[in-house]
Structure 1
Amino acid sequence: MMALRFGILGTAGIARRRMLPALRAADGVEPVAVASRRLDTASGAADEFGLVAVEGYQALLDRDDIDAVYIPLPTGLHAQWIEAALAAGKHVLCEKALVPDLATAEKLVEQARAAGLLLMESFMFLHHSQHAAVRAMIADGVIGEPRVFTSAFGIPPRPDGDVRYAADLAGGALLDVGVYPIRAARLFLGPDLTVAGSVLRTDPKYGVDVAGSALLSTSDGFTAELSFGFEHAFRSMYALWGTKGRLSLPLAFTPPDDHVPVVRIEDENGVREVPLAADRQFVNIAAAFARTVREGGDFAAHGDDILAQAALVSAVRAPSLPD
């Protein structure tokens, strides 16, 4: 079967460091071209990976040798270029957060469905085998009945001029790092989640949120305690606390390909550590995207996932007040 031919809209760091190498390594994928607003910028990435350099994002979308695009642009530019890519008949893998609000997510999901195209939000961590291993442990009762999920993702302050601080490009901690703990909570607690409360701290210098916390809950009282921000020592973890013990996983969201995960389990018998296999989550998501397109996978499920995520993110930003 013919490989899925990819174009890349933008030369962001995550594209050059992680996704372009992954697209080259993934089964069923052929990266073809990379675009930037300036040809010299596109040429730098293209020369590094043996691709065609294209000046301008629309010029890449107009090519007939591209089946799908990967979009690593700032969040505030996602909607414009997702819409343009879908209009050009391209499947879309877009970096998180897909868009800043639920209404825009609904519009783009409807456009993708009407066109019969795959639109996927690139939560690459979901494609690392460590999380399936943890879920299997939970199902086996290693900590009893889960009661509380805790997760944090924080990074040190960024330098002035970093796009994460650009209010006009939908910057801010919630959309950059906060979406990871929210998506992880959904992975372990399921779809029955509402936002009980949240706090965001906005930096007046930048006009974007730089830190936040949220409390989510299911209808039966299973809670998720989430924290995130740009003014922290690095932390990327989640833990589950149950009736018989506690399980935690450090470096949950951004492990290097050669990282050997270690699950820490604490119970009445003491503490033990369980090593897991290293994995390549960027390669895995690229291959999964291509497989879904080429084998006629469930496009609708990805649309539903986008909407569920956007609804929770919107609720964390503006939680409803109690009656």
Structure 2
Amino acid sequence: MNAPLRFGIMGCADIARRKMLPALDAEPTAVVTAVASRDLAKAADLTARFGGEPVQGYDRLLDRDDVDAVYVPLPAVLHAEWIDRALNAGKHVLAEKPLTTDATETRDLYALAERRGLVLFENFMFLQHSQHAAVARMLADGVIGELRGFSATFTIPPKPAGDIRYLPAVGGGVLDDVGVYPVRAALHHLPGPLALTGAVLRQDPAHGVVISGSILLHTGTGIPAQLQFGMEHGYRSGYELIGSAGRIVLDRAFTPPPGVQPVVRIQRQDHYEEVTLPADDQFRNVVTLFTGAVAAGDPLNEFAGASIRLADLMDSIKKNADVRLTTGDLTGVLS
């Protein structure tokens, strides 16, 4: 058996504390050897719970010989710089989505990883949940006939005042944070390349960030993907595949807790069925995929290609979207 892959954690983001560190702690193929933060006390708090040594500053983390791979949960606008530094320091990189906020930077980082012989992986953890493979099998088996359309929604309630999503200086807004989920799901399920038909983004003038939006994509044969996202809603997380003979509906598509058994709803004209699937832990699955790839020297090119296609689509959306200012006042919601 290979020795556990030694991880350094770059930052003390909420997703690291709640999701990734518990997954690393539970997985025997990985071990946390260091946690870095600008605030040493925050790093020490995490190492007291999950092991490793607290480190002040990200550069010091990259200088360590006992770190084989770096997990990057920093704000998206900082990803390109620190992924580049980590790869140049000889570290494999597991980075939270989106890998970067620019398609050229994404391409450059994958090219750098290939030159250095390192694994670079963009963590869309939901794709590692087995429910999506089950849905893909149903579609391939013709359960709803031929695919005619796709729709997906990921919306969350407003965040408290001061949340990073309201800070444009660090890449705030929900397009790169929440909107990427439905777009990535469309890339996963629809055949061939996707192109932008149109997009409308709602921007909060008080904070200067996008707080919701809708996107319409299409395949080369005209199959549409209708996507909605935002943080001025009730919580919704699901997608629907529309076929010539029915539809498949999956709720809790993006953030199912490990103990939840997903339910897939299949509807045809004279048929309704609910299929309960096994519970799964998508974060632990990410860890095993990543550590296995490092051990095998597998660059995970399939995922790299999808990340680049996503980055291209996101660039197109940002460039071509119709941006509308909201008229509602979020002051009361955010106070």
Q: Which amino acid aligns with 1:106?
A: R
Instruction: Kindly state the Cα deviation for residue 320 of structure 1 after the two structures are TM-superposed.
Output: 8.3
Contact 1:5/1:66, CA 8 A, preserved across alignment: yes
Q: Match of 2:308, SS? A: helix
Task: Write the distance in 1 (CA, Å) between the matches of 2:201 and 2:27.
Answer: 38
What residue is the counterpart of 2:166 in the other structure?
165
Q: Which residue of 1 aligns with 2:296?
A: 295
Counterpart Cα distance in 2 of 1:301 and 1:249: 24
Partner residue in 2 for 1:314: 315
Q: How far apart are residue 27 of structure 1 and its match?
A: 4.0
Q: RMSD over aligned Cα, in angstroms?
A: 1.3
State the alpha-carbon separation in 1 of the partners of residues 279 and 146 from structure 2: 28
Q: Please state how far the C-alpha of 1:23 moved relative to its aligned partner.
A: 0.7
Alignment of 1:276-287 (within 5 A): 276-287=277-288
| Corresponding residue pairs, total | 321
Unaligned 5+ runs, structure 1: none
Question: Residues 27 and 287 of structure 1 are in contact (CA less than 8 Å); yes or no, is this contact kept in structure 2?
Answer: no
Matched, 1:198 2:199: yes
Residue type of the alignment partner of 1:199: V
Match of 2:58 in 1: 57
Residues 155-180 of structure 1, C-alpha deviation per residue, up to 9 Å, x if partnerless? 01111110111111111111011100
CA contact (8 A) 1:200 1:317 kept: no
Which residue number in structure 2 is paired with residue 261 of structure 1?
262
Indicate the residue corresponding to 1:244 in structure 2.
245
1:300: Cα distance to partner? 3.4
Give the Cα separation in 2 of the matches to 1:199 and 1:27. 45
| In structure 1, distance between residues paired with 2:241 and 2:303 | 26
CA offset at residue 50 of structure 1? 2.0
Find the counterpart in structure 1 of residue 332 from structure 2.
Answer: none
Task: Give 1:303 deviation, angstroms.
Answer: 2.8
For residue 153 of structure 1, give the secondary structure of its aligned residue in structure 2. strand
Correspondence 1:137 to 2:138:
yes
Report the TM-score, using the length of structure 1 for normalisation: 0.97
SS at match of 1:197: strand
Amino acid at match of 1:17: R
Counterpart of 2:275 in structure 1 is 274
Tell me which residue corresponds to 2:71: 70
Partners of 2:241 and 2:62 lie apart in 1 by 43
Deviations 1:131-167 (A, max 9, x none): 0000001111111111010000000111111011111
Whole-angstrom distance in 2 between the partners of 1:286 and 1:273: 30
Give the corresponding residue for 1:31: 32
Taking the aligned partners of 1:285 and 1:61, their CA distance within structure 2 comes to 22
Deviations 1:204-233 (A, max 9, x none): 111111111111111111110000011011
Tell me how far apart the structure 2 counterparts of residues 191 and 291 of structure 1 sit (CA, whole Å). Answer: 28
| Cα distance, 1:170–1:259 mapped onto 2, change above 3 Å | same
Distance across 2 between alignment mates of 1:304 and 1:166: 30
Structure 2 contact 192–220 (Cα < 8 Å) conserved: no
Q: How far has the Cα of 1:305 moved from its partner?
A: 2.3
SS in 1 for 2:154: strand
CA contact (8 A) 1:238 1:252 kept: yes
Alignment of 1:96-111 (within 5 A): 96-111=97-112
The 3-state SS of whatever aligns with 1:7 is strand
TM, length-normalised to structure 2: 0.93
After superposing on structure 2, the runs of 4+ consecutive aligned residues of structure 1 that deviate more than 3 Å are 298-302
Q: Please list, as runs of the form range in 1=range in 2, the aligned pairs for 1:34-45 lying within 5 A after superposition.
A: 34-45=35-46
